[in-house]
Chain A
Amino acid sequence: GQNIDQPTEMTATEGAIVQINCTYQTSGFNGLFWYQQHAGEAPTFLSYNVLDGLEEKGRFSSFLSRSKGYSYLLLKELQMKDSASYLCAVSDSNYQLIWGAGTKLIIKP
């Protein structure tokens, strides 16, 4: 079957760095997405990885290792507004997104 695993909840301090991990097992792979979702709102796109390595975009970076079925989202210089759920999703062989359950990130002052 297809499976995406990510931690349910994480807590971090304002100004610090946090890494959210995602492991996956899917039928085929056409890229991995990270989305941010604030409570009561739709997801917004953060990053896309299809090749191994690190993609950096401002305070956010995303890493992919296809051989390990592993990705992480790295958030630097955390701000209170970063408190949200972070969703990992993999595009499978049919280009359908398989979603993780999301990681709720709590930022404390």
Chain B
Amino acid sequence: GAVVSQHPSRVICKSGTSVKIECRSLDFQATTMFWYRQFPKQSLMLMATSNEGSKATYEQGVEKDKFLINHASLTLSTLTVTSAHPEDSSFYICSARDGRENNEQFFGPGTRLTVL
């Protein structure tokens, strides 16, 4: 099956710093990538939808200037959490869609962000 990698898997940073998370589709071209956030014991919350070569579409309540998304190629999307604060601590998961008929999303392994 399709493989999506995510890096780093875990990051601890100080409040006020910026953190970049990479999401790569390893064996397929992903025209669309999604960024989710998941707080403990809660379901996935879609943050934004990223299409290659265009600006990301952010969900209501997600600050686009705080969560910068770049989808520069068909295999790479990045999420930068700028000026991170403790309330940004969460599990960030990316997924990629390869445009197949069932529109299945393939998930990366996730990034655990802890802001001190």
Residues of A whose CB lies within 8 Å of any CB of B are 30-31, 33, 35, 40-45, 48, 50, 87, 91, 95-97, 99-102
Contact = CB atoms under 8 A, between A and B. Distances in A.
B103 A31 contact: yes
In the A-B complex, the 9 residue pairs with the smallest Cβ-Cβ separation, listed nearest first, are A42-B107, A101-B43, A42-B110, A48-B102, A102-B43, A95-B103, A42-B93, A99-B44, A99-B43
A37 B1 CA distance: 17
A33 B110 CA distance: 19
**Looking at chain B, what size class is its interface with the partner chain?**
20 to 34
A98 B112 CA distance: 23
Interface string B72-116: 000000000000000000010100010000111111111010000
Interface of B: 1, 34, 42-44, 46, 49, 91, 93, 97, 102-110, 112
Contact of A41 (B104, B106, B110): B110
A31 B44 contact: no
Find the residue from B46, B49, B105, B108 having the highest chain A CB count within 10 A. Answer: B105
Nearest to B111: A42
A91 B97 CA distance: 12
B111 to A, nearest CB: 10
A33 B108 CA distance: 17
Given A31-B103, A42-B109, A44-B107, 7 more contacts: A30-B103, A42-B108, A45-B1, A87-B44, A96-B49, A97-B105, A99-B43
Contacts of B108: 42
A96 B97 CA distance: 11
A87 B43 contact: yes
A45 B96 CA distance: 13
Contacts of B49: 96
Find the residue from A41, A50, A97, A101 having the highest chain B CB count within 10 A. Answer: A97
25 contacts: A30-B103, A31-B102, A31-B103, A33-B104, A41-B109, A41-B110, A42-B109, A42-B110, A43-B44, A43-B93, A44-B107, A45-B106, A48-B104, A87-B43, A95-B97, A95-B103, A96-B46, A97-B34, A97-B46, A97-B105, A99-B43, A100-B43, A101-B42, A101-B43, A102-B43
